[in-house]
Structure 1
């Protein structure tokens, strides 16, 4: 509750409640419910109710990862006739997984439901995704979103089936470590133009389902990075990333908003902010940017 209260103090109005389960490897056709790994329904209910008590809206975001540590974008099978039964089996299991949480999102009055995150290899399976979306809509009557990976948004043919075009906007907008806000703004502009065209084509809003970067030198050249722990602390670059994208996208009427990555359930102590090189912005300059921006633009 303390973490949620501090998040609310930034001026944020929504949270994406993201949680995961693990399939055995990227070629597995079974997605297990293992409460040794996955949040229980009771955990989720508690978190949703705590958020709503603070006046926050909730996007429920179940995610499937791979136990072998390979990125979920690689979950899938070869594009050949013999692989079709494996695709059918995986989508059947994924459908069971998603339908469970769609029912929960409906029961808990979640304001949005995310049906997938960065499942790049599965995205060409148009018929499977269309059928899955039809299933979800029978169980959940709120807006649904799919979270593409940055750069793959234009390839998804079934994006017109959902209510919002979602993406993980980890665009590398810095030209060099420690780059300025002005340089980042210049690199966000073509991203904005691309998103505007996608909106015009499909007629639905665009939302950044994940966006952020770490408070480490060079982070804005590779905002997705979480592995290079040796990079030195740099809160200025993270703050420039935040302020630059806010300036470029805020006034666009077709743009639905930002889900910033990340805000941890258990926050570090405030005094540790000046040495923390993670995605969290608590106690860092980027948090001040967000508070000031949200305060001025309400």
Structure 2
């Protein structure tokens, strides 16, 4: 079993950004955290959550040339790559709501959407194979679609025809236990934005206590499917109160707090690191264009560059992972 010491890289970047000098410098600084992996995450848009067609947006979507450049730059630095294509909804509604009513008349819409989504993924599965990517993510937080087990199993079969490496699906925290087709993937992934702080400013011990029941749930999920668990997304912003809502990116008025972010990082490392079924982290996230290091003390985003959480990652990623008893 692999153990992922990783970061998400590339999210919310416009086409061409991966090929800029600042992107190369950002990757180098990411490598200096001790990270061994990146999840190269990019997206295209479907028109709205009820659309059945996933087009290539020629004004926005990363080109294959962009992706090839980023993968080769990462590999030149010794980083392994999980290719993570994502579909968002152009109406601004969270992708978890992409889907159709649960009624017989909706089946043709489900069939049409999965045809388009399978074609979308097949394109990137081919690219992942050509570029020797080390893992391929087949979806991210597609909550409303997850009950369509037959569609997902057929999609996975198609991806495996094109891509020979390990496959992961990125569920959202809280939806993992409802997915019945996890036996078809190689790794179970989740966006682990669990609200482990009960109030702003909670310390590491309080967060550890709230991670423990999450660990029990993840252990049970592993026991059910016999698949390793990866936190495909995890993190929180360096702002006061963000550990109570780690997924939040909207409350930009909250005051800077690198301590709360650092406690979130250190607490989950302590709780999960030595679990033999646990396969690692892709922290959210590392920007393609970083702020100046002097600005770290006022940056309230997810990035950890120049913050206390970066030092914590470096310390933990320098440690070996005990794999005794691992699958």
Q: How would you bin the TM-score normalised by the shorter chain?
A: over 0.9
2-side partners of 1:152 and 1:168: how far apart? 10
Local SS of the residue matching 1:97: helix
2-side partners of 1:178 and 1:297: how far apart? 31
Partner of 1:212: 235
**CA-CA distance at 1:242 after TM superposition:** 0.2
Partner of 2:7: none
**CA-CA distance at 1:246 after TM superposition:** 0.3
Residue 64 in 1 paired to residue 87 in 2? yes
**CA-CA distance at 1:296 after TM superposition:** 3.8
1-side partners of 2:138 and 2:318: how far apart? 31
2-side partners of 1:251 and 1:182: how far apart? 18
Partner of 1:143: 166
Local SS of the residue matching 1:262: strand
Match of 1:153 among 172, 176, 188: 176
2-side partners of 1:104 and 1:230: how far apart? 40
2-side partners of 1:115 and 1:295: how far apart? 29
Q: Give per-residue Cα distances to partners, 1:132-181, cap 9 Å, x unaligned.
A: 00000000010000000001101000111000010000000001101100
Residue 264 in 1 paired to residue 279 in 2? no
Match of 2:108 among 79, 85, 97: 85
2-side partners of 1:166 and 1:271: how far apart? 34
Match of 2:300 among 272, 277, 282: 277
Partner of 1:123: 146
| TM-score computed with the length of structure 1 as normaliser | 0.99
**CA-CA distance at 1:293 after TM superposition:** 1.8
Residue 234 in 1 paired to residue 254 in 2? no
1-side partners of 2:319 and 2:129: how far apart? 34
Partner of 1:47: 70
Match of 1:291 among 311, 314, 318: 314
Residue 249 in 1 paired to residue 272 in 2? yes
**CA-CA distance at 1:73 after TM superposition:** 0.1
2-side partners of 1:210 and 1:50: how far apart? 22
Local SS of the residue matching 1:196: helix
Local SS of the residue matching 2:318: helix
Partner of 1:201: 224
Segments of 5+ residues of structure 2 without an aligned counterpart are 1-23, 322-327
- Matched ranges for 1:17-32 at <5 A: 17-32=40-55
Higher relative contact order (CA 8 A, sep 6+): 2
2-side partners of 1:188 and 1:79: how far apart? 34
1-side partners of 2:92 and 2:43: how far apart? 13
Segments of 5+ residues of structure 1 without an aligned counterpart are none
1-side partners of 2:219 and 2:310: how far apart? 27
Q: For structure 1, which segment, 159-168 or 288-297, has the greater mean C-alpha deviation from structure 2 after superposition? A: 288-297
Residue 103 in 1 paired to residue 138 in 2? no
**CA-CA distance at 1:37 after TM superposition:** 1.2
Count of aligned positions: 298
Local SS of the residue matching 1:261: strand
**CA-CA distance at 1:294 after TM superposition:** 1.7
Runs of 4+ in 1 over 6 A off after TM superposition: none
